[in-house]
Amino acid sequence: MYDVAIVGAGIIGASIFRELTKYNVKVIVLDKENDAAMGTTRANSAIVHAGYDPKEGTLMAKYNVWGSELFEELCRDLSVPYKRNGSLVLGFDDEDMERLKKLYENGQKNKVRGLRLLNREEVLMKEPNLSQAVKGALYAPTGAIVGPFELTIALIENGVTNGGEFKTSAEVIGIEKEGVVFCLKLKEGEPIKSRYVVNAAGLHADKVHNMICKESFKILPRKGEYYVMDKSQGGIIQHTLFQCPNKMGKGVLITPTVHGNLLVGPSSEDLEEKKNVGVTSKGLGLIQETAKKTLEHINYRENIRNFSGLRAISDRDDFIIEETAVKGFIDAAGMKSPGLSAAPAIAIDVVAILQQIGLLAEPKKDFQPKRHQIRFAELSPQEKQELIKKDPRYGRIICRCEQVTEGEIVESIQRPAGATTVDGVKRRCRPGMGRCQGGFCGPRVQEILARELKKPMEAVILDREGSYILTGKTK
Partner 1 sequence: MHYDLVVIGGGPAGLAAAYEAYENGISKVLIIEREKELGGILNQCIHNGFGLHTFKEELTGPEYAERCIDKVMYSTIEVKTDTMVLNIEEKYIHAVNGVDGYMVIKASAIILAMGCRERTRGAIHIPGYRPSGIFTAGAAQRYINMEGYMVGREVVILGSGDIGLIMARRMALEGAKVKAVIELMPYSNGLSRNIVQCLEDYDIPLYLSHTVTDVVGSGRLEKVVVQAVDENRKPILGTEKVFVCDTLLLSVGLIPENELSKNAGLRLDPRTNGLIVDETMQTSEEGIFACGNVLHVHDLVDFVTEEAQNAGRNAALYLNGTSAKAKTVQVLNGNGITYTVPQLINLSKDIKIKLFMRVSRPYYNQEIVVKCKEQVIASFKKKVLLPAEMQNIVLETKQLREIDGNILIALEEAE
Residues that bind partner 1 (CB under 8 A): 228, 232, 275, 277-281, 284, 300-301, 303-307, 381-382, 384-385, 388-389, 392-397, 400-401, 403, 435-440, 442-443, 447, 457-458, 461-475
* Rounded Cα distance, 312 and 303, in Å: 27
Catalytic residue among 49, 204, 209, 239: 49
- At closest approach, how far in Å is the CB of 443 from partner 1? 6
Burial of 181 (0-12, 13-18, 19+ CB in 10 A): middle
Looking only at the bridges linking them, the beta strands covering 329-333 and 192-199 are parallel
* Rounded Cα distance, 152 and 348, in Å: 16
Which H or E run contains 465?
A: none
Residue 377: name the closest of 256, 231, 229, 161 by CA: 231
Nearer to partner 1 by Cβ, of 6 and 449: the residue is 449
Decide: 417 and 36 in contact? Cβ < 8 Å: yes
Decide: 29 and 165 in contact? Cβ < 8 Å: yes
- At closest approach, how far in Å is the CB of 46 from partner 1? 17
- At closest approach, how far in Å is the CB of 340 from partner 1? 21
For 127-148, the DSSP string reads: -TTS-TT--EEEEETT-EEE-H
* Rounded Cα distance, 102 and 114, in Å: 16
Nearer to partner 1 by Cβ, of 341 and 421: the residue is 421
Nearer to partner 1 by Cβ, of 67 and 432: the residue is 432
- At closest approach, how far in Å is the CB of 471 from partner 1? 5
* Rounded Cα distance, 232 and 210, in Å: 48
- At closest approach, how far in Å is the CB of 277 from partner 1? 7
Decide: 330 and 178 in contact? Cβ < 8 Å: no
* Rounded Cα distance, 426 and 172, in Å: 27
Nearer to partner 1 by Cβ, of 64 and 308: the residue is 308
- At closest approach, how far in Å is the CB of 306 from partner 1? 6
* Rounded Cα distance, 238 and 122, in Å: 14
Amino acid at 174: G
Nearer to partner 1 by Cβ, of 102 and 464: the residue is 464
Nearer to partner 1 by Cβ, of 363 and 381: the residue is 381
Nearer to partner 1 by Cβ, of 361 and 429: the residue is 429
* Rounded Cα distance, 424 and 419, in Å: 5
* Rounded Cα distance, 229 and 241, in Å: 15
Looking only at the bridges linking them, the beta strands covering 116-119 and 136-140 are antiparallel
Close Cβ partners of 301 (under 8 Å, ≥ 6 residues apart): none
- At closest approach, how far in Å is the CB of 439 from partner 1? 5
Nearer to partner 1 by Cβ, of 283 and 328: the residue is 283
- At closest approach, how far in Å is the CB of 276 from partner 1? 8
Residue 461 is given by DSSP the state: B
* Rounded Cα distance, 399 and 401, in Å: 6
* CA-to-CA separations, 325 to 147, 198, 218, 315, 387, in angstroms, rounded: 36, 13, 16, 18, 55
Decide: 259 and 149 in contact? Cβ < 8 Å: no
49 is catalytic: yes
* CA-to-CA separations, 124 to 66, 130, 248, 348, in angstroms, rounded: 30, 7, 24, 39
Nearer to partner 1 by Cβ, of 119 and 299: the residue is 299
- At closest approach, how far in Å is the CB of 397 from partner 1? 4
Neighbours of 454 (CB within 10 A): 7
Catalytic residue set: 49
